């Protein structure tokens, strides 16, 4: 059965050291008269070793540990709710930030198959709320409150990294995993609450931190940014020197259908969006992932599949077909798996590759914003 618990964690009013880039960390320690290598030691302790207390960093002097403890915390988010799905494949945490905002983070576990090794993927939020108002998304119905800081984004991954590594350690102790198979988090997807490209600079800085080989060291090709289709952001992302993946939430094959569920389409219609995707592919030589949430009777008919095939047939892409994770109060119903397979077959006629992906964590409100909605409902 699903596990749900309140986890008391002491909050801090100190500035989070996770807000500092490596250069800023170096400059901060230099003002304290510390040599440059101390910054590398501190960086490794936080991002590689997962230390949560300066006092545990025994390779630093006692005096330095004291100064750091007086001036900084290692993150400021409080875990207020943690849930695990019945099949233990998904964990979701609801965090409270110092200003009271609630955000969600999900850890998804995937077993090894014939093509890929087992992996643990973290889905992170980039905003508290969202301004874009997609009608099938719980977060989209909450409205926008603010962007998350770089530290608030990276802290989500660090928390899940500690959870993932502790699971690996237990398997090593049990003899079911070798020491060389200690993985922790393998992938990060920016697909949680908010629109990542609307918080571009903080998103990119967090990606650089997560990608740093002296820190968590998550490879760029294991990091995916998802967008509803903010064209300026897509074009800017195409010029970055970090070769991350791009996922575009399309969810409809024509402007009329898309505008009904995604107001952003009125500003960036499908024709312009596909042009931006072509530009991204040309600049990066990387395929794009097209996210297509299947809404029963809304966008999942054979006609919709044919239209989608014609729209995407000349784009280097892979389509993820995702039966909707119902929000509870929304009007949309979930497309049956066999109907999703039929939709996939129709796409194949246009040589558009696709995968039917069943949502994880439905029993624990793992869809974006659902756990926050539930927590607020309990308070009212």
Catalytic positions: 104, 368
Distance CA(33)–CA(25), nearest Å, equals 13
Distance CA(58)–CA(159), nearest Å, equals 21
Residue closest to 259 by CA, chosen among 134, 139, 368, 130: 134
Distance CA(59)–CA(313), nearest Å, equals 56
Distance CA(182)–CA(215), nearest Å, equals 15
Q: Which DSSP category does 168 fall into?
A: H
Distance CA(180)–CA(168), nearest Å, equals 10
- Contact status, residue 3 vs residue 11, Cβ threshold 8 Å: no
Residue closest to 357 by CA, chosen among 328, 319, 327, 329: 319
What's the Cα-to-Cα distance from 3 to each of 96, 307, 363, rounded to whole Å?
Answer: 19, 42, 10
């Amino acid at each position: 059965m699903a596990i749900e618990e309140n986890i008391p964690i002491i909050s801090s009013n100190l500035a989070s050291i996770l807000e500092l880039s490596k250069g800023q960390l170096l400059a901060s320690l230099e003002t304290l008269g510390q040599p440059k290598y101390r910054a590398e030691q501190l960086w490794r302790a936080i991002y590689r070793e997962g230390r949560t207390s300066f006092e545990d960093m025994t390779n630093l002097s006692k005096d330095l540990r004291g100064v750091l403890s007086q001036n900084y915390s290692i993150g400021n988010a409080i875990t207020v709710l943690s849930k695990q799905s019945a099949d233990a494949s998904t964990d979701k945490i609801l965090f409270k930030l110092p200003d009271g905002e609630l955000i969600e983070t999900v850890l998804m576990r995937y077993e090894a198959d014939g093509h890929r090794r087992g992996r643990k993927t973290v889905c992170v939020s980039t905003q508290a709320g969202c301004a874009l108002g997609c009608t099938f998304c719980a977060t989209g119905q909450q409205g926008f409150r603010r962007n998350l800081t770089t530290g608030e984004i990276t802290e989500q991954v660090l928390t899940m990294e500690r959870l993932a590594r502790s699971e690996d350690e237990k398997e090593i102790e049990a003899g079911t995993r070798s020491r060389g198979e200690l993985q922790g988090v393998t992938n990060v997807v920016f697909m949680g609450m908010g629109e990542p490209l609307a918080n571009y600079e903080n998103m990119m800085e967090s990606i650089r931190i997560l990608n740093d080989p002296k820190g968590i060291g998550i490879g760029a090709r294991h990091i995916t940014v998802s967008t509803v289709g903010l064209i300026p952001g897509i074009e800017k992302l195409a010029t970055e020197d970090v070769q991350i993946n791009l996922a575009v939430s399309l969810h409809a094959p024509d402007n009329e259908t898309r505008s009904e569920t995604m107001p952003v389409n009125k500003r960036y219609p499908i024709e312009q969006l596909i042009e931006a995707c072509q530009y991204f592919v040309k600049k990066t030589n990387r395929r794009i992932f097209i996210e297509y949430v299947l809404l029963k009777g809304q966008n999942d008919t054979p006609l919709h599949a044919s239209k989608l095939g014609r729209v995407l047939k000349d784009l280097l892409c892979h389509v993820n077909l995702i039966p909707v994770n119902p929000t509870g109060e929304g009007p949309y119903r979930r497309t049956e798996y066999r109907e999703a397979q039929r939709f996939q077959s129709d796409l194949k006629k246009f040589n558009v590759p696709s995968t039917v992906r069943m949502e994880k964590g439905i029993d624990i409100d793992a869809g974006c914003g659902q756990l926050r909605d539930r927590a607020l409902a309990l308070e009212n």
